[in-house]
């Protein structure tokens, strides 16, 4: 039996209400009431149903095989996307972006008001009602109208992060809490991977895999790359007023500028700004034109309490000063304090091992001084009749004569007639098996050096070294 209007003494059938529940007739409905039969079961406006039927479901409640039957579709055969494109001065859109013809533009959305820019605007000043500028042409104080801001006090950065299974982002990457993930961006299609994808096959537009899980021959399709032949760096430079970057900093032409970054507000300055007053989140001025009370508001700060120095990723997000005071015995600290790489290795070995002598001439008989050599060994220690030697070979000693290296071995053997183990440690660049240049951080190499020294000490103590001379090369060219 039809439900009657709830208005006093009205006998008409109710057809208007809130959230699909009819409670009033058309005559007595309130302003916020809608025709119940035209709403989705959840109360939202419907746009979806099976092809050929009237709209009955919203996007959240639609069945798996339902399509948008309310809005006009792209004219391209079998395309169900909403059209936004037609020729300029036309009133009705007929194609989607994928199937739009040459010279067609998006006629359904407003354009960035910067000169003749055709991009859709997303930015305007806070407090304004509508966006007027695109990302490239936005002013420094403009904010993105289409993205929710981080909930952290006074933070104006776009929020992307929340806990898994949540639908609305609440924090930016800087202020996100532990275990929060990016719930806005697409994620790698590899099972259980939550990383944002950047890779797909060449000529594909949509990234589907992250760097870790990409398949062979996939390339980064998310970022534009420098047009210079065989250059894999991201493009940031083009001539001023151009919209798309073409070249990296290394291969840019004269008068090209970085068109992806904001510029210092000082007249005529083209440097990227990092400085503003404390509490602000976007840089206005470069280091040259900042005022005395401005600070770096862009770069991440050192993790140490009350330190405003820029964080160094190589030192676990501390500045070098804080790191060497907080972790005085860490291998990284030796790297910070060293004047040369050899001294860094010396300090590291002296901290980890006892009994090594550094850079002293090898005497056959120290008390009599009757036989000396001109040769020195960076670090040496006599263990059970074997002389364990560690040499710091900057740039693999490529500039040294091979004949001189052989003569050096002969000289030290004449000075000490026992067994030798030489560990030749290169702290500089080298090439791997594929000929690719590698240059790991020194502190990572020192850990490997420590493991190798311990390994050789154990071999010597167990009398497992049988050769008169053994040479172990660490971080040398693999094909040499």
**Residue 325: what pLDDT?**
84
For the chain, counts of helices (H) and of strands (E):
5, 24
Range with the poorest average pLDDT among 31-45, 329-343, 361-375, 418-432: 361-375
**Residue 364: what pLDDT?**
46
- The mean pLDDT of 127-144, rounded to a whole number, is 85
**Residue 456: what pLDDT?**
96
A 10 A CB-CB count for 370 gives 9
Burial of 51 (0-12, 13-18, 19+ CB in 10 A): exposed
Asked if the model's pLDDT at residue 92 lies above 70, the reply is yes
Asked if the model's pLDDT at residue 1 lies above 70, the reply is no
- The mean pLDDT of 309-314, rounded to a whole number, is 80
Question: What CA–CA distance (Å, rounded) separates 51 from 67?
Answer: 7
pLDDT in tens, 204-225: 888 999 988 999 888 888 878 8
CA distances from 444 to 21, 351, 412, 457, 471 (A): 67, 16, 30, 21, 21
pTM: 0.36
pLDDT in tens, 357-409: 887 877 644 444 444 455 788 899 999 999 999 999 988 888 787 877 887 88
**Residue 309: what pLDDT?**
78
**Residue 338: what pLDDT?**
59
Whole-number average pLDDT of the chain: 84
**Residue 390: what pLDDT?**
94
Inter-residue contact 319 to 306 (CB < 8 Å): no
Asked if the model's pLDDT at residue 11 lies above 90, the reply is no
Query: For residue 259, what are its two tokens?
Result: 């068109």
- The mean pLDDT of 317-338, rounded to a whole number, is 79
pLDDT in tens, 279-300: 777 788 988 899 988 888 887 8
Of the candidates 159, 200, 148, the residue with the CA atom closest to the CA atom of residue 182: 159
Angle at 155 between CA 151 and CA 156, to 5 degrees: 100
pLDDT in tens, 188-200: 999 988 888 988 9
Inter-residue contact 193 to 213 (CB < 8 Å): yes
**Residue 370: what pLDDT?**
46
**Residue 194: what pLDDT?**
81
Which residues, 6 or more positions from 106, have their beta carbon under 8 angstroms from its beta carbon? Answer: 84, 85, 93, 97, 118, 120
pLDDT in tens, 238-291: 888 777 788 988 899 988 888 888 888 888 888 888 888 887 777 889 888 999
């Amino acid at each position: 039996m039809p439900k009657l209007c709830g208005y006093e003494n009205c006998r008409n059938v109710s057809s208007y209400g809130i959230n699909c529940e009819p409670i009033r007739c058309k005559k007595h409905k309130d302003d916020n009431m809608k025709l119940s039969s035209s709403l989705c079961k959840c109360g939202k406006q419907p746009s979806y149903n099976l092809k050929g039927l009237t709209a009955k479901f919203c996007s959240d409640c639609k069945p798996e095989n339902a399509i948008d039957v309310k809005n006009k579709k792209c004219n391209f055969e079998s395309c169900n996307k909403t059209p936004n494109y037609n020729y300029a001065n036309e009133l009705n859109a007929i194609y989607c972006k994928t199937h739009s013809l040459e010279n067609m533009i998006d006629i359904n959305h407003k354009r960035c008001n910067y000169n003749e820019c055709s991009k859709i605007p997303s930015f305007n000043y806070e407090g304004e009602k509508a966006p007027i500028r695109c990302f490239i042409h936005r002013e420094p104080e403009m904010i993105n109208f289409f993205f929710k801001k981080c909930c952290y006090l006074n933070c104006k950065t776009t929020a992307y992060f929340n806990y898994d299974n949540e639908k609305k982002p609440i924090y930016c990457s800087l202020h996100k809490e532990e275990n929060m993930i990016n719930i806005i961006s697409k994620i790698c299609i590899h099972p259980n991977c939550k990383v944002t994808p950047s890779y797909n096959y060449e000529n594909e537009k949509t990234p589907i895999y992250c760097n870790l899980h990409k398949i062979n021959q996939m390339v980064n399709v998310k970022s534009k790359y420098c047009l210079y032949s065989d250059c894999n760096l991201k493009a940031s430079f083009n001539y001023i007023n151009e919209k798309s970057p073409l070249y990296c900093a290394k291969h840019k032409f004269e008068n090209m500028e970085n068109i992806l970054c904001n510029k210092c507000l000082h007249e005529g300055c083209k440097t990227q700004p990092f400085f503003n007053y404390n509490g602000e989140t976007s840089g206005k001025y470069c280091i040259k034109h900042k005022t005395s009370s401005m600070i770096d508001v862009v770069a991440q700060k050192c993790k140490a309490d009350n330190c405003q120095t820029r964080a160094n990723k190589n030192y676990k997000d501390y500045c070098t000063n804080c790191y060497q005071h907080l972790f005085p015995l860490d291998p990284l600290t030796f790297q910070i304090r060293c004047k040369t790489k050899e001294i860094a290795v010396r300090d590291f070995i002296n901290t980890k091992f006892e009994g090594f002598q550094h850079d002293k001439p090898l005497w056959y008989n120290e008390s009599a001084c009757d036989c000396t050599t001109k040769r020195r060994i960076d670090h040496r220690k006599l263990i059970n009749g074997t002389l364990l030697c560690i040499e710091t070979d900057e740039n693999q000693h490529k500039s040294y004569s091979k004949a001189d290296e052989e003569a050096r071995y002969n000289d030290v053997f004449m000075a000490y007639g026992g067994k030798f183990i030489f560990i030749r440690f290169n702290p500089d660049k080298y090439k791997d098996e594929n000929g690719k240049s590698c240059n790991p951080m020194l502190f990572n190499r020192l850990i490997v050096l420590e493991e190798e020294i311990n390994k050789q000490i154990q071999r010597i103590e167990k009398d497992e070294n049988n050769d008169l001379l053994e040479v172990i090369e660490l971080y040398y060219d693999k094909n040499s």
